Structure formats: C-alpha cells, structure tokens
Amino acid sequence: MAGDLIYAFRVMRLPLLDAGGATIGRLDDVVVVAGRTASAPRVLGFVATSQRRRIFVNANRVATLDNSGARLRSWDVDFHPFKAKEGERLLKVHVIDKAVGDEVVSDVALRLRDAGRGDGWEVAKVRLARRSTLRRRPTYRLVDWNAVPALFAATTEAAAEAARLRDMHPSDVAGVVRALPITQRRQLAEAMDDERLADLLEELPEAEQLRLIEGLDMERLLNVLDEMEYDDLADLLAEMPGEQRTRILDEMDEDDAAVMRQLLSYQPGTAGALMTPEVIILGPNSTVAEALAHVRNPEWLVSIAAQVFVTNPPFRAPTGRYLGVVHIQRLLREPPSMELGRCLEQEPTITPEANDREVAEMLASYNMMAMGVCDSAGRLLGAITVDDVLDRTLPADWRQRRRQAAS
C-alpha cells in the first residue's frame, strides 16, 4: 500500500483482525456511500466473512488498515448478516469492472479522510483500464473520483438527501427531519446508514422515535438499536408497547439484552434509569499509556472519554470495588508508564436510587463531566454524563423551541 493511497483490490484480500491481532475473518468488499455536494464518497465500512457468515464491519470500528489486515478497535464483533441498503455501493460488486466510456474501472484508491484524527476513509481516485487491439496489455490511468462522479452518485432522492445530511450535527439533522411529512421521514430513515439513523433517533423525543422506526423490519431495527447509547436505548424501549419491547429484547444479543433489562428495572427519574454502563473502566495496575489508548477511541462520547474509572476486577459493570477516577488532563500530565493507582482522584459517586435533582446538584457542585453510579457494595454500575442530565432536566420541547427561535 504505497503512499497515502490504499487500493480496494488489495483491501479485499486482507484478513480481519480482532483487537489483539488474531485473525477472525477476511475482508470481501468495501461499502461506500455518496458524499455531500462536491465531497468525496465516504467508506461506510467493509463486508467480511467470519465464522462462515457474511457480516458488516463499520469503518469507525477499524483502528488500523495496513498490509497486516484490518484491526478492530474492540473485541466486539457484530455477526448479523450483511444486507446492503439503499444508497450503498459495494466496490467489488457495483464499481470495479464497470464500463466508463471505452474504459473499465480496474481499481479504486482510498485515503484517510483526516490522517490526524483517524476519521475513516474516502474514495480518492479511480484507476481506469483501456484495451486496444494493437496492444496485448491494457493501458491504465489514474483519475480523481470526481472525473467519474456517476460511479458514486446517489441513486434516489432520499439517498441524495441522506448524503447531504451525513456530516451535519445530529441535532441539526433532527430539525430537518421533523419538518418533513412522516412518509418522507421514513424514506430518509431507510436511506440512512445504521449509525447515522441511531444518532438521529437519540436527538428525537421517544414518541417521534417510535413513529420513525415503525416501517423498519426487525433485522434492520436491531442493527440500528445496536448503534444507540445504552441509556438512550433504554428510554426508547421503555416507551414501547410491552409486547414489542419483549420481542426486541428476545432478539437482541444476550449480553445487551441483560443490560437493557437491568436499566429498565430502575424507576423513571432515578440515577439508575439515567446512567449508561458503557464507560471506560481499567484496573489500578493499568498504565497511563493504556488509558490514553482507550480515550483515543473515537467511538466514545466526549463526556465519557473525559475520564477513566478505576476498579478492581471485573472491569465490566457491575465491576469489582470502585477505587476512583483519573481525568484526561491528569493522564496527559503523567508519564506513560505510571500506573493509574498512583494518580487516582476521589470524587463522589451516587446510588442508582437517587433522583434526577440529586444527580444534577452533585454534578454542578463538583463540576464533573460524568459521575459514577455505585451500589451498596461499592461496585461501579455505570456513569451519568452532564449531557444526559441536561436532556432530562430541560423542558421536553426545548429542542423544538430552540429551532423555532433560530428560524
């Protein structure tokens, strides 16, 4: 893989590696979607074969892509069967070998969108081949992607609108979507990728979320729900009719379903109902370097990545005894080899039974971005972030009033 370009034909032969570097499958294809106006098509993810299943690997979950393979950021792998959605193009199936005038696409070159941020990949160039009766071998030329825009153009109006909205903040996308008739909303939802639709749902009131997902089949719905934050998903499930909620929980991954049932068991208006169990948890013997490696993962929300919670094993909620927290500013000041147990801060935690007001007062009093939630045995159950507290304490229609004031 020379220079800054990664060629799709090479990518589609690479092994899929777990977070530890062990081979768990093979990449078969690259999924791209149209970019916004004048923007390059974006790599949405990869189709891979693992355990005899054809699965989708979101590009955001790939930490590195080089000659050794595509290495995942975490150990979690979604084994739901891959199913292409409207607006998605598979390079091997839909682009490579496609005729462009008297030439044929022989390969597609990808590049990092932002090498400094590791912001995924995009289509950079297309290699075209021309055969001639006078030559035994074809001649090749490399052109920019926008020299052949029809290869990647959105196929429908909904897909084009989804591409236009792709890089907008989810809150702004919600404002656009709420102004559309329900039929157009659902068409747009169908055209969005799972992660983007999940982001949109998290910005809508639960009643509107339910109306938007009514037309999704169970397989697509499960994929979208899998991309939602645990606390937002619990709020949505709580608003569903009991039969629908039970059916979804029965179809979900067993571990995720157990987490959801636990969150749903807490009374509304309490810390337990507000918290997320998905936080960064390490042991006291872990180093600053290890902690920073976790914090760098772009999948974490800013409020979650602002600190690392330190506990005794196990390091998944409910954990062993909670020991303290280390904020990212402290991590940046200390040497990489220092153990977290030597730079702990003791901040107050709260019980899952505490009410919303107690949570808000505690966060405000101690100027915290997030606060740990512990049970009576001192085990960390999760954390509550300041953005979730604001969502809960502001009036239910605050988003709509803000958009009306801005228009």
- Give pLDDT tens digits along the chain (407 positions): 444 889 999 999 899 999 889 999 999 999 998 877 678 999 989 999 998 889 999 888 898 998 899 999 887 787 778 888 777 889 999 999 999 999 999 999 999 886 545 568 999 999 999 987 666 788 999 999 999 988 988 778 888 788 778 778 888 899 889 889 999 999 999 888 888 899 999 999 889 999 999 888 898 899 899 999 999 999 999 999 999 999 999 999 898 999 999 999 999 999 999 999 999 999 999 999 999 999 988 788 889 999 999 999 999 999 999 999 999 999 999 999 999 999 999 999 999 999 999 999 999 999 999 999 999 999 999 999 998 888 777 766 666 666 566 55
pLDDT of residue 401: 65
Which of 115, 165, 163, 123 lies closest to 147, judged by CA? Answer: 123
Residue 384 one-letter amino acid: I
Residue 296 one-letter amino acid: R
Question: What contacts 24+ positions apart, CB below 8 Å, involve 365-372?
Answer: 369/303, 369/306, 369/307, 370/279, 370/303, 370/304, 370/306, 370/307, 371/347, 372/309, 372/322, 372/325, 372/347
pLDDT of residue 118: 54
pLDDT of residue 160: 79
pLDDT of residue 153: 84
- Under a CB-based contact definition with an 8 Å cutoff, are residues 347 and 325 in contact? yes
pLDDT of residue 58: 87
Phi, psi (rounded to 5 degrees) for 276: -120, 135
In the chain, the domains with their CATH numbers are: 6-151 (no CATH), 157-265 (1.25.60.10), 281-392 (3.10.580.10)
Report pLDDT digits (tens) over 239-271.
Answer: 999 999 999 999 998 989 999 999 999 999 999
pLDDT of residue 399: 62
Report pLDDT digits (tens) over 186-239.
Answer: 999 988 888 889 999 999 988 999 999 988 889 889 989 999 999 999 999 999
**Residues facing 89 on adjacent strands:** 32
Burial class of residue 20 (count of CB atoms within 10 Å of its CB; 0-12, 13-18, 19+): exposed
pLDDT of residue 1: 44
Q: Is the pTM of this model over 0.95?
A: no
pLDDT of residue 2: 42
